[in-house]
Amino acid sequence: MKCASHPAGWLFMACCLLATFAAVSCNDSPSESNTDTETQTDSDADSDSDGDSDSDGDSDTDGDSDSDGDSDSDGDSDSDGDSDSDGDSDSDGDSDTDGDSDSDGDSDSDGDSDSDGDTDSDTDSDSDSDNTLSPGCGKPITIPNRKTQQTMEHEGDTRYYLLHVPDNADNQTPLMLIFGLHGYDMNNVAVQDLYNFTQRSNGKAITVLPQGEGPPPGDVSHWGDHVLESTWMAGETNYGYIQKLITTIGENYCIDTSKIFIAGFSMGGFFTNSIACDHSDWFLGFAPIAGGGPQACGADAKPAIMVQHGTTDDIVEFSSGEGSRDFWVKQNGCSDQTTQSFSGCKSYTGCPDDAPVHWCTGNYNHYIDSTAVGNIWEFFNGL
């Protein structure tokens, strides 16, 4: 039967249109008795008792099962079919359709433009743009006595190091890690107050002072007194020791592994130049003092480096430092033009952005001058 020709007229047409929602038979005349078991108390001719003109049981006339006045049954104030009123097709309350609680259009709720669930927009799963946190982050922390020699076994030998951890370290905030190497016939005790990077950093850096090859360093200073005759020979044995220190410290303390640096004095300065050549990717910056070398590097080695040498050095000639400077300027592809930088320093122009070369001099002898250490800290902290 066609609704338009039914003798009941317009009321029957409304009934047909609502048949899908209220399950009313279009073959029943409006004058016939309702055969369902509901008890109605209104006179609107539909099958519910809400007083409106549809049969959905709510208080509006939109034909759905809620009373919000829109055309869906989700109970909100829009017609998108979800349970919020933001006008999109999900129920997260924001203005996009990605199903999360922000409006950035991705599938997480961190407010950035990717779906990795972190707070940056680099599409990885961390919040610092790089996964650079060491395994020690989050572990319970023990602050060691800065004057107590720590030990580790390496290639059958006991190796020693001093460790300066900031008093406020909590293994939640990642710290810089800075190596400070002594020179020939010295020990780490002699340089622990000179390489005061932890103090200069205001708690942002751990300083590690490894002992070179030779007898145990003891707990008193030795500097050129022919007692220890300790060395820093460049090669895989000491490189492996340095790498093991990085790993061990990172396992126990929260280190930003993208911010590891090394400085060295005298023979330690020669070693620093060598490891910059052989393992430039282990450290973000290098700072030899009163050193020399290297002689040759692979083409890929382009470290960020600060070379320093005292003009009155009577142990390692000033020309040795100049040789290191000239080597790194050429190796890193810099020009021979300079600008002033730091204290008593020149910065070479034309270097790669991540491989600057600084040359610093001062009126000091074969010594770790405080101005030199200040330059190193400012250089490392700026990388």
- pLDDT of 173 over the 80 cut: yes
Cβ pair 315, 302 in contact under 8 A: no
Dihedral sign (CA 333, 338, 341, 344):
positive
What is the arithmetic mean of pLDDT over 303-311? 98
What confidence tens digit (pLDDT) does each residue in 338-370 have?
999 999 999 999 999 999 999 999 999 999 999
- pLDDT of 59 over the 50 cut: no
What confidence tens digit (pLDDT) does each residue in 203-255 have?
999 999 999 999 999 999 999 999 999 999 999 999 999 999 999 999 999 99
Cβ pair 142, 169 in contact under 8 A: no
Average pLDDT of the chain to the nearest whole number: 80
Q: What integer pLDDT is reported at residue 130 of this predicted model?
A: 52
Percent of the chain with pLDDT over 70: 66
Q: How confident is residue 82, by pLDDT bands cut at 50, 70 and 90?
A: low
Beta-sheet pairing, 205-210 with 255-265 = unpaired
Helix 267-278 and helix 236-252, axial crossing angle in degrees, nearest 10: 80
- pLDDT of 176 over the 90 cut: yes
Residue 53, amino acid: S
Measured CA distances, 305 to 185, 234, 326 (Å): 25, 18, 12
- pLDDT of 304 over the 50 cut: yes
Half-sphere exposure for 219 (CA within 13 Å, toward CB): 6
Percent of the chain with pLDDT over 90: 66
Cα–Cα distance, 145 to 164 (Å, whole number): 8
Residue 234, amino acid: A
What is the arithmetic mean of pLDDT over 10-14? 38
Q: What integer pLDDT is reported at residue 194 of this predicted model?
A: 98
Q: What integer pLDDT is reported at residue 118 of this predicted model?
A: 46
The gap from C-alpha 216 to its chain's centroid, in whole angstroms, comes to 38
Cβ pair 95, 104 in contact under 8 A: no
- Label residue 67 exposed, middle or buried (CB < 10 Å: 0-12, 13-18, 19+): middle
Q: How confident is residue 27, by pLDDT bands cut at 50, 70 and 90?
A: very low
DSSP string of 18-74, one letter each residue:
THHHH---TTS-TTSPP-SS------SSSSSSSSSSSSSSSSSSSSSSSSSSSSSSS
Beta bridge partners of 177: 206, 260
Give the pTM.
0.69
**Higher-confidence residue: 22 or 291?**
291
What confidence tens digit (pLDDT) does each residue in 84-142 have?
544 454 445 454 544 454 544 454 444 444 444 444 444 444 444 458 999 999 999 99
